Structure 1
């Protein structure tokens, strides 16, 4: 069996990576670091820098102690959690996507893949759930301005807990038995 250029199948540069993966190599090209991928990496770097700077500034601002207050306000706590979730997206999702675009293949192994996919999903779920928590807290503040609002801590716990549970790696049964969730 040859690859069409006189070399045995699998001996061309890059083809051994795909051997046994079920990907047909004849009449197809291996992925490369294209111009579009370079643009995506550049945009990701710009977003990374601006997101890291902005969210670190917000986190610093809402967590520093105010001399006029004995304890931090609930709104500051909510914004601190939102900034933390956004920083998780910034420091996990963005570098993972940029690295994926540069290398065009996964080189770090199965455990790193599962761990990073878990963190990526957890970050994205948390970044989506926390604005909902802030909205619910603000709704409670508007509808009952003088009443106690002790539910914010519980809602934060639910948001982070759901983020963890929904991102947790699991296996599913397919037609061929146990299969794991696909890799990035």
Structure 2
């Protein structure tokens, strides 16, 4: 019987191997893991089920919102700032649904990250980006509603100005999520 090395990071050990090779070789069955390594327990399966249900409901709701806004856009000649903000909030929430909620469910179920180091970094970047974007869209909606209530007759936030704020939110989210790549690069085990 051969002794298997101990790894802090499953990605480092399995680099270059695909999932079918790992399963057929028995490496995953005979590997020595650290004590803090996650395990697929009944509680984790329950967590995965709850997250999957939330992700499905959120996905359907956000797609329905985008569809409804698109249909209303075709019917109406005017376009208010709030439609733009809600549309982009629904898009941001789709990112959160897929990458944060759905991704966490998948990651919890597989117990280990099996998609490689580059995919891990990209995945974490998109998670942070989507959270920033969703938060910024909520802030913009709050600011828009404040001005609509405070100055109801002035139309302070026009659709053109709103688009500038939306673009700024996307760019700011991208910029603020970029350090995630640098942080993950420094903590990568060699």
TM-score (normalizing by structure 1): 0.77
Equivalent in the alignment of 1:128: 135
Question: Deviations for 1:137-169, whole angstroms, at most 9, x for unmatched residues?
Answer: 111122222224233222212221111111113
Whichever structure has more helix as a proportion of its residues is 2
Flag the 1:62–1:14 CA change in 2: closer, same or farther, 3 A: same
Aligned runs of 1:111-126 on 2, under 5 Å?
Answer: 111-126=118-133
Flag the 1:182–1:136 CA change in 2: closer, same or farther, 3 A: farther
Whichever structure has more strand as a proportion of its residues is 1
Aligned counterpart in structure 2 of residue 180 of structure 1, from 167, 178, 186: 186
CA RMSD of aligned residues (A): 2.6
Unaligned runs of 5+ in 1: 1-5, 19-24, 173-177
Q: Are 2:31 and 1:14 aligned?
A: yes
Unaligned runs of 5+ in 2: 6-26
Counterpart-to-counterpart distance in 2, 1:167 and 1:90: 17
Counterpart-to-counterpart distance in 2, 1:108 and 1:66: 40
Q: Kindly indicate whether structure 1 or structure 2 has the higher relative contact order, using CA contacts under 8 Å at least 6 residues apart.
A: 2
Larger of the two Rg values belongs to structure: 1
Equivalent in the alignment of 2:98: 91
Equivalent in the alignment of 2:42: 35
Alignment coverage as a number of residue pairs: 163
TM-score (normalizing by structure 2): 0.75
